[in-house]
Structure 1
Amino acid sequence: MTGISPSLQELLLRLGVAALNGSKIYTLFRPFYGGIGHILMLHRVVPQKNHNSLNADIEITQKDLIDILTYFKKNNYKIVSLDEVYNILHEKRTDIKFVSFTFDDGYKEIDFLVYHLFQKYNYPFTVYLTTGFIDGTAINWWYALEKIILKNERIDFEYNNKEYCFFCSFPNEKYNTFRTIRSLFLNQYNEKNIREVFRKYHISLQEITAELTLDWEQVKKMSRNPQVTIGSHTASHHCLKALGAEAVKEDVLCSLKRLESQIQKKVEHFSYPFGRKQNGPREFAIIEQLGFKTATTTRFGNIFPGHWPHRLSLPRIYPIGRLPVLKYLDLLLSGALSALGYRFKRI
């Protein structure tokens, strides 16, 4: 959709998904593409919806989370840990309808909006942590970008030797600007130059990252609960495909050693930052060499028995854009979207 604004792209997506959802055609896909279970990919859980948020596609409310949990229990799913997913695949079991909850990045609200909720019902879940966010060596630039855009009506900067200028007075302009700059940073990633952009606007990336992120005491508290799995999400949150092979190993090992030294447990599960097209066979092979049991991507899809050989590149299910989660959950889990998006391949 080159040349189409991000807001129009989302409108077209919403219309297409709404039509598919309303027609119930997606139910025809479930027997073939519904899989044996699902791994949910979530990021930040917030107390209530912020309609000004430009990062709404990675946010759900606590009520949304409660509704999702209720849906799965009502539909007789077993809520399982990633260790259990590993065992189900290894044993080629098809008798368990399961779902596993994963939360990427390590946002602070996990402690008081997720942990206590899952603890109440004794449900397992996984938190994939970027250790650099906790230690102050990595930056959560997408929330800093939101802050700049919401505060300004014009954004201009130099990035990778090119000048950029965006006018963003109105909400749709702010959303389009955010999506465009986010894509620019992801596709031409250069952390040094990203830091320069924020320095111009007197934004402290370290302060914003610290405000958003769990601290080590919270992590250690949660890790003592056997229902909580702590996984690695690298040390830097860099796109691994953009790094050399040795740099990838160093980044992941740095995270692994830091996590294990803090929680005094072996860390066996991994999640790729920006893990859809940005990672491939080289990254998967490195993660296998480092001894992880499973690794998850952001490739959209359900889990099938045939995923055992691909357990280091597992797909996940996640909310799409700003669509209401519960309304579309049946569709998301049916396999229809992944079948259409990946030319009817299941794995």
Structure 2
Amino acid sequence: MSNLKYRLINLAMEVFALPNVAKLIRRFSDCRGVIFTLHRVLPDAPAAFSPNGILQITPEFLESVIIEARANGFDIVDLDEALDRLEADEAQDPFVVLTFDDGYKDNLQYALPILKKHNCPFTLFIAPNLIEAKAEIWWQALEDIIRENNSVEFDLGQGTEYRETSTPASKCEVFDELYWYMRKKPEADRLRLLHALAKRYQLDLTAHCRALIMEWQELQAFIDEPLCTIGAHTMNHYELKKLPEDQMADEISKSVETLAEKTGKRPTHFSYPVGGPLSAGRREFAQVKRQALASGVTTRPGGLYAENAEFLEALPRISLNGNYQKLRFIDVFLTGAIFTAHSGMKKVNLD
């Protein structure tokens, strides 16, 4: 994302964070609640070059979100309760759902103690092949390769290209170029580029995943935790919209089957990897519904309304973005209507 876009978003956050603005919007909105997307919880601030820093918040900010949500009259509920409230004839107290994607080790070290301290229900979405280090945390691998090198060579199909990456600014430019190439290309092309880069720059992708993501033994703490709901997140963290239909369906069903076997309970909730329009759409939403999953959560921003009860397979979520960890912004994050407006006022966003 460009610096200009970040500045504009920050300006909008500051405006909505002015005293009582967010509260006034909530008063006149029919938004019933919000689902937050989280990934990593880490105490240290991101380095100068950390394009994935948007995916991490501090333990202190997580705790502040929990405290402030309840102080503002929000119940923190699990996904099952959230669906019940969406389907209710009349709105009840507003609610927040906390969801964590991928199963990072730091969730165990830093997030779980806070969630237990505050008796806070949450959902952890798991891709089994990440747990077994058979898939790749490719977005972080790309960042780490660029961070450790002052130049990068790669082939995007037109022969070897060279990029200088000696400064944070040049590293960001190259990351954006390669990240969006990988996002827009089929998964096979993304994997070829990732593995070529890893081989050239001697990054062991298996060890890299193992260092970041919990193993089954570590995940057991969440499986045994009554506050935690385990949800499915595909087998390999592939962007489903890029896959042939049979492979797409298998990614969903096999993740559900594997987690049922490993945890002793069939998951009923699903998170689409990456979750935006490039990654999941009507075909994928229909498949989640066909496989009798109770919900599917996207990363399309927005609050939750009575209308969403008719499309539980395509629920919006609001990212607790690591670039906006100011206490005054929590009131903005709690105001789903603001994010629905950002999505063009689409309460249900299937496209």
Same fold (TM over 0.5): yes
Q: Which residue of 1 aligns with 2:253?
A: 253
Which is worse superposed, 71-80 or 187-196?
187-196
Deviation at 1:16, TM superposition (A): 4.2
Number of positions where the alignment pairs a residue of Structure 1 with one of Structure 2: 343
Q: Which residue of 1 aligns with 2:6?
A: 10
Deviation at 1:290, TM superposition (A): 1.0
1:344 aligns with 2:351: no
In structure 2, the CA distance between the partners of 1:261 and 1:93, relative to structure 1 (3 Å rule), is: farther
Q: Which residue of 2 aligns with 1:292?
A: 293
Paired letter, 2:292: G
SS at match of 1:137: coil
Q: Which residue of 2 aligns with 1:217?
A: 217
SS at match of 2:236: coil
CA distance in 2, matches of 1:182, 1:151: 17
Whether the 8 Å CA contact 2:154–2:161 is kept in 1: the answer is yes
Paired letter, 2:179: R
Whether the 8 Å CA contact 2:59–2:114 is kept in 1: the answer is no
In structure 2, the CA distance between the partners of 1:204 and 1:239, relative to structure 1 (3 Å rule), is: same
**Cα deviation per residue 1:248-292 (whole Å; 9 max; x = unaligned)?**
111112211111111111210000011111211110010111111
**Matches of residues 102-117 of structure 1 in structure 2 within 5 Å?**
102-117=99-114
SS at match of 2:316: strand
> Which residue of 68, 72, 92 corresponds with 1:71?
68
CA-based RMSD: 2.1
Paired letter, 1:307: N
Deviation at 1:303, TM superposition (A): 0.7
1:48 aligns with 2:49: no
CA distance in 1, matches of 2:11, 2:212: 33
> Which residue of 179, 197, 207 corresponds with 2:176?
179
CA distance in 2, matches of 1:76, 1:295: 26
CA distance in 1, matches of 2:4, 2:176: 12
TM-score (norm 1): 0.92
Paired letter, 2:31: G
Deviation at 1:335, TM superposition (A): 3.7
Whether the 8 Å CA contact 2:272–2:280 is kept in 1: the answer is yes
CA distance in 2, matches of 1:323, 1:28: 21
Paired letter, 2:274: F
**Cα deviation per residue 1:164-211 (whole Å; 9 max; x = unaligned)?**
433222222222322332122111142133211221111111111110
SS at match of 2:68: helix
Paired letter, 2:39: H
SS at match of 1:99: strand
1:38 aligns with 2:34: yes
In structure 2, the CA distance between the partners of 1:126 and 1:137, relative to structure 1 (3 Å rule), is: same
Deviation at 1:17, TM superposition (A): 3.7
SS at match of 1:156: strand
CA distance in 2, matches of 1:98, 1:288: 24
Q: Which residue of 2 aligns with 1:137?
A: 134
Deviation at 1:124, TM superposition (A): 0.7
1:60 aligns with 2:61: no
Whether the 8 Å CA contact 2:33–2:336 is kept in 1: the answer is no
> Which residue of 144, 147, 165 corresponds with 2:144?
147
CA distance in 2, matches of 1:114, 1:136: 22
Deviation at 1:93, TM superposition (A): 4.3
Paired letter, 1:150: R
Deviation at 1:135, TM superposition (A): 1.3
Whether the 8 Å CA contact 2:73–2:93 is kept in 1: the answer is no
CA distance in 2, matches of 1:60, 1:130: 21
Deviation at 1:25, TM superposition (A): 5.6
TM-score (norm 2): 0.91
CA distance in 2, matches of 1:255, 1:216: 14
Q: Identity over aligned residues, as a percent?
A: 28
**Matches of residues 239-318 of structure 1 in structure 2 within 5 Å?**
239-277=239-277, 278-318=279-319
Q: Which residue of 2 aligns with 1:158?
A: 155
CA distance in 2, matches of 1:134, 1:50: 24
Which is worse superposed, 34-43 or 55-64?
34-43
Runs of 4+ in 1 over 6 A off after TM superposition: none
Deviation at 1:24, TM superposition (A): 6.7
Whether the 8 Å CA contact 2:57–2:322 is kept in 1: the answer is no
**Cα deviation per residue 1:69-94 (whole Å; 9 max; x = unaligned)?**
11112112111011111222233441
Question: Any unmatched runs of 5+ in structure 1?
Answer: none
**Cα deviation per residue 1:293-334 (whole Å; 9 max; x = unaligned)?**
011000101111111111110001113461225332222332
